[in-house]
Amino acid sequence: MKFAAPPYMLDKLPYPPERDSWRHVARWRAVERIFREVCRVYGYREIRTPVMESTELFCRAVGEGTDIVGKEMFTFTDRGERSMTLRPEGTAPVVRACLEHNLLSEGALAKLYYICSSYRYERGQRGRYREFQQTGVEALGSQDPAVDAEVVSLAMEFYRRLGIERTELKVNSVGCPACRPAYRQELLDFAQPRLAEMSEESRTRFTKNPLRMLDSKDPKDQAALDTAPSLLDHLCSECKTHFEAVLEYLRALEVPLVIDTRLVRGFDYYTKTAFEVTSPLLGAQNAVGGGGRYDSLVEELGGPPTPGIGFGLGTERCLLVLEELGVQLELDRETPDVYLACIGECARRAAVPILHGLRTSGIYAETDYSDRSLKAQMRSASKMNSRFVALLGDDELAKGMCQLKDMVGSEPQKEVNLADLA
Ligand code: HAM
């Protein structure tokens, strides 16, 4: 029987594969390194949460009426008869952990970041997987629109540092529990007579989650809702003032953006600011990241009233865009410093402690374990791009020396005392 990775869950590989070089782990590390560095200068600390949580957490946080909870979660019953779900997103687990470990104190802002795998049972395609990684941040404890601007600009700075150009930042306000219900009703009244022309999906959303009809990419829905009332025209004064302040800050930071009154993200927890970053270089799955404010979520999950805002950025999609752009990431060096080529049984035996000594001195040292000819060992060293080759035969061994050959520079081969090799 042949085994394969689960559908739409990808192995990331130790060497650059011929196709899809973005699956080379070194590239992932490079992206993660840049994300960590950007988070560091913005003052965000890393948090790690388990890969699964109680199903109830996501039902409450993300919302029963959403696609994620309704049809995309990997849910199972564990051996203790608990319903568990592989995290479909990072925000709810972070809020849960903050409450469990008292990370939220009044008047203080908790600024957290994470790099985590997420799981959604979606129809797979390029850029859409069932296991994917998000780099995300959450800032909990402030209503200040300057925090919205900080979070958005952090995301944009990350793309800039990566070398991802031509992204589009779309921003909207989805209102709050004070102003949304009236808008929701107006939208329902507007859509009702047009339902027959709309897609099946939008008809379902009409009853379950009407605002999401606005987000539909189906041209039929877009035509039917073309003149629909706009959420932005229905914001209460608090949401309106907040949105204007966010825009003002972002303009002051010279972050280019478009206001997209149709942007309604697929989670029930959002209030006020919602944003998404897209790239024209991806096909249908063009969102490289998204986020927004969630001022009621902490309370919803049993905590004290605590506003929050954050984002999640898809690592696969970032890497796909980088590949499209041909951006050379700065990868960790994975080539040996020295390859110990041995001639004969004695040398091979002596090589074991020599290698150990080099490695414990922090030198990346390789050798051959297949008893191959010197020629074959030299070929290996050169294929691995080893910086040096140290040749060890009976003669050298007797003198406590080896022959050191520079594989890159033009320095002539020289004899080096084994004690000084490191
Ligand atoms: P989201 O928009 O569902 O938001 O996901 C964020 C990003 O994850 C997307 O923009 C996309 O790049 C990537 N992504 C989502 N689904 C997939 C998939 N199936 N395959 C590959 N990439 C995917 C959230 O998850 C929110 N928790 C973000 C947030 C944090 N809001 C506030 N704080």
- Give the residue, by CA position, lying nearest to ligand 1 atom 17: 128
Instruction: Give yes or no for residue 396 having a pLDDT over 90.
Output: yes
352-358: average pLDDT: 97
- 137 close to 154: Cβ distance less than 8 angstroms: yes
257-283: average pLDDT: 95
Q: Is the CB of 295 under 6 A from ligand 1?
A: no
Ligand 1 center–CA 134 separation, angstroms: 7
- 246 close to 187: Cβ distance less than 8 angstroms: no
pLDDT in tens, 224-262: 999 999 999 999 999 999 999 999 999 999 999 999 999
192: Cβ–Cβ under 8 A, 6 or more apart, which residues?
Answer: 206
Ligand 1 center–CA 373 separation, angstroms: 52
Instruction: Give yes or no for residue 411 having a pLDDT over 90.
Output: no
Name the pLDDT band for 123 (thresholds 50, 70, 90).
very high
Q: Which of 297, 20, 285, 272 is nearest to 127 (CA)?
A: 285
Name the pLDDT band for 283 (thresholds 50, 70, 90).
confident
Instruction: Give yes or no for residue 85 having a pLDDT over 90.
Output: yes
Q: Is the CB of 311 under 6 A from ligand 1?
A: yes
Instruction: Give yes or no for residue 217 having a pLDDT over 90.
Output: no
Ligand 1 center–CA 290 separation, angstroms: 6
- 11 close to 5: Cβ distance less than 8 angstroms: yes
Instruction: Give yes or no for residue 50 having a pLDDT over 90.
Output: yes
Name the pLDDT band for 98 (thresholds 50, 70, 90).
very high
Instruction: Give yes or no for residue 144 having a pLDDT over 90.
Output: yes
> What values do phi and psi take at 80, rounded to 5?
-95, 20
258-282: average pLDDT: 95
The mean pLDDT of the chain is 96
Q: Is the CB of 310 under 6 A from ligand 1?
A: yes
Ligand 1 center–CA 135 separation, angstroms: 9
Tokens of 337: 């410093």
Instruction: Give yes or no for residue 280 having a pLDDT over 90.
Output: yes
Q: Which pLDDT score, from 0 to 100, does residue 285 have?
A: 87
Say which residue, 410 or 339, is predicted with more confidence.
Answer: 339
Ligand 1 center–CA 138 separation, angstroms: 13
Q: pTM for this one? A: 0.95
Name the pLDDT band for 336 (thresholds 50, 70, 90).
very high
Say which residue, 395 or 284, is predicted with more confidence.
Answer: 395
Ligand 1 center–CA 114 separation, angstroms: 13
* Ligand 1 atom closest to Cα of residue 294: 32
Instruction: Give yes or no for residue 107 having a pLDDT over 90.
Output: no
Tokens of 360: 């414990």
Looking at beta carbons, which pairs linking 191-199 to residues 24 or more positions away fall under 8 Å? Answer: 191/224, 191/225, 191/228, 194/224, 194/225, 197/223, 197/224, 198/224, 198/225
Q: Is the CB of 141 under 6 A from ligand 1?
A: no
